């Protein structure tokens, strides 16, 4: 295979959090803490695979977010690694009064549409539904993991954003403008704990 041909078929990726490049004790400059309620507990710590993000919530709601400019037609896959060490007691995104999760990844598009991938305490894996609660904003949730069975394990995820967006909103997606890693326990008045490793947009799944 020639060098030119190899370059044309090589996997493409845009890493928004890279465990090999991150440093323990320091949040990468591109990320910002967004607090909705309570006191955020955020740390970058060392794990065997490299530096990872550690989130803890006690009756709080906060997120890490960063701006991106991604063409989902070119990089349609969102991939990430995560681990949950504690689930909010009674959390269930299907009811506003229990809408707490140990770990969520939200992807925002330029037209105020959001895909929300979450690890829920109660809702079954594979559950998908609209969860819009804010005016002029449409959020569609997808349960990737559920309950305690896989807690304390590093798990890898791959989602085709273009396909998920088409199913959720009925048309092809525009560009992406932001990504958020979130944890919240304010509704259930409980606590939760999670970790995030590599997070990336790719042209192929993991």
State pLDDT tens for residues 7-46: 445 679 999 999 999 999 999 999 999 999 999 999 999 9
Strands 128-130 and 32-37: unpaired
Residue 4 pLDDT more than 60? no
In CATH, the number for domain 11-202 is 2.60.120.260
Tokens of 54: 């550690």
pLDDT tens digits for range 138-176: 999 999 999 999 999 999 999 999 999 999 999 999 999
Query: Average of pLDDT values for 46-66?
Result: 95
**Prediction pTM value:** 0.91
Q: Based on the number of CB atoms within 10 Å of its own CB, is 117 exposed (0-12), middle (13-18) or buried (19 or more)?
A: buried
Tokens of 168: 């959720």
CA distance 102 to 84: 7
Residue extents of the structural domains in the chain = 11-202
Tokens of 63: 């997120």
Within 10 A of 97 (CB to CB), how many other CB atoms are there?
Answer: 9
Contacts of 171 by beta carbon, 8 Å cutoff, 6+ apart: none
């Amino acid at each position: 295979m020639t060098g030119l041909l190899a370059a044309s078929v090589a996997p493409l990726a845009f890493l928004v959090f890279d465990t090999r490049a991150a440093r323990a004790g320091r949040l990468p400059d591109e990320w910002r803490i967004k607090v909705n309620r309570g006191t955020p507990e955020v740390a970058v710590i060392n794990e065997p695979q490299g530096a990872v993000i550690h989130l803890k919530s006690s009756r709080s709601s906060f997120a890490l977010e960063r701006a991106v400019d991604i063409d989902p037609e070119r990089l349609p896959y969102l991939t990430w690694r995560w681990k949950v060490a504690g689930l909010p007691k009674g959390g269930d995104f299907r009811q506003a009064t229990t809408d707490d999760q140990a770990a969520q990844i939200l992807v925002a598009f330029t037209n105020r549409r959001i895909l929300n991938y979450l690890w829920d305490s109660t809702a079954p894996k594979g559950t998908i539904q609209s969860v819009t609660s804010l005016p002029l904003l449409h959020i569609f949730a997808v349960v990737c993991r559920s309950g305690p069975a896989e807690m304390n394990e590093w798990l890898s995820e791959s989602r085709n954003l273009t396909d998920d967006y088409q199913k959720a909103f009925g048309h092809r997606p525009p560009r992406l403008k932001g990504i958020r890693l979130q944890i919240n326990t304010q509704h259930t008045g409980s606590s939760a704990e999670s970790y995030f490793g590599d997070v990336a947009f790719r042209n192929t799944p993991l």
